[in-house]
């Protein structure tokens, strides 16, 4: 049976000439295409009220959380650091409600970049608001101007993880983040780290909570590197 994959959407709310000033609900095409190629049925979930989250989760089989803005730091007990970038509180609150409902309804979650960070916050963890706050920062984690289809740094993968079954002990990934997980939530475990020690992938300790998160962007690279497609195939068909 084809799995319905709910992709939590982002929005553009500032004036943009290409959309003639209209506000836009969107998700990166890579998520849609990868889910379709894995024989899933993508369904984009627009930002809405917290009360709508229950009904959305009831209509899908699995939840995908995408990248995007920084996360509002008060959600993990901090004031905004001077290097904090754009936030969207409506998106934060809606996706937190989606996560809560997905866990209640035992629906699997695949979380990418910001999505992984928000999932950690939802479960009680904290973030570095900027990598300058991380004492051991030695690797470039925002790879511009290098194009996203090219991997730029290594991740070391834990042997007891689902990720190890897909990639083995090491993978090379792209990277687009200036925030990162600081304190890991108690119900999560680390699946992979960068060579400078940042958390690059997470899974749930409890097998009933089917969760996989990655800090990199497989949706921007799966067509150039088919190994990255394994993440979507695993999510749609196994997780």
Write out the two tokens for 222.
């799966």
Residue 50, helix vs strand vs coil: helix
Rounded distance between C-alpha atoms, residue 216 and residue 172, angstroms:
10
Axis crossing angle, helix 89-104 with helix 114-122, rounded to the nearest 10: 60
Query: What amino acid positions are annotated as catalytic residues?
Result: 113, 217, 219
Give the count of beta carbons closer than 10 Å to the beta carbon of residue 105: 12
Contact (CB, 8 A) for 110 and 94? no
Around 153, how many Cα atoms within 13 Å sit in the side-chain half-sphere?
23
Rg of the chain taking only CA atoms, in angstroms: 17
DSSP notation for 148-216: TTS--EEEEE-TTSHHHHHH-SEEEE--B-S-EESSPPTTEEEEEEETTS-EEEEEESSTTS-EEEESS
Residue 8, helix vs strand vs coil: strand
């Amino acid at each position: 049976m084809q799995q319905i994959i709910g992709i939590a959407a982002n929005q553009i709310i500032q004036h943009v000439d290409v959309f003639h000033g209209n506000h836009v609900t969107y998700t990166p095409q890579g998520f849609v295409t990868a889910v379709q190629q894995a024989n899933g049925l993508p369904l984009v979930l627009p930002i809405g009220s917290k009360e709508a989250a229950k009904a959305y989760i009831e209509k899908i089989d699995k939840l995908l959380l995408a990248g995007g803005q920084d996360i509002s730091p008060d959600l993990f007990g901090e004031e905004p650091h001077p290097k904090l970038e754009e936030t969207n509180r409506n998106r934060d609150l809606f996706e937190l409600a989606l996560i809560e409902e997905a866990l209640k309804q035992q629906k699997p979650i695949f979380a990418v970049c910001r999505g992984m960070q928000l999932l950690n916050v939802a479960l009680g963890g904290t973030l570095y608001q900027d990598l300058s706050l991380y004492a051991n920062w030695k690797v470039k984690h925002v790879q511009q101007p290098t194009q996203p289809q090219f991997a730029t740094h290594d991740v070391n993968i834990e042997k007891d993880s689902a990720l190890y079954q897909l990639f083995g002990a090491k993978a090379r990934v792209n990277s687009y983040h200036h925030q990162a997980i600081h304190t890991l939530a108690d119900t999560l475990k680390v699946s992979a780290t960068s060579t400078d020690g940042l958390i690059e992938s997470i899974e749930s300790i409890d097998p009933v909570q089917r969760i996989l998160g990655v800090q990199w962007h497989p949706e921007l690279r799966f067509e150039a590197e088919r190994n990255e497609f394994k993440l979507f195939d695993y999510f749609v068909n196994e997780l």
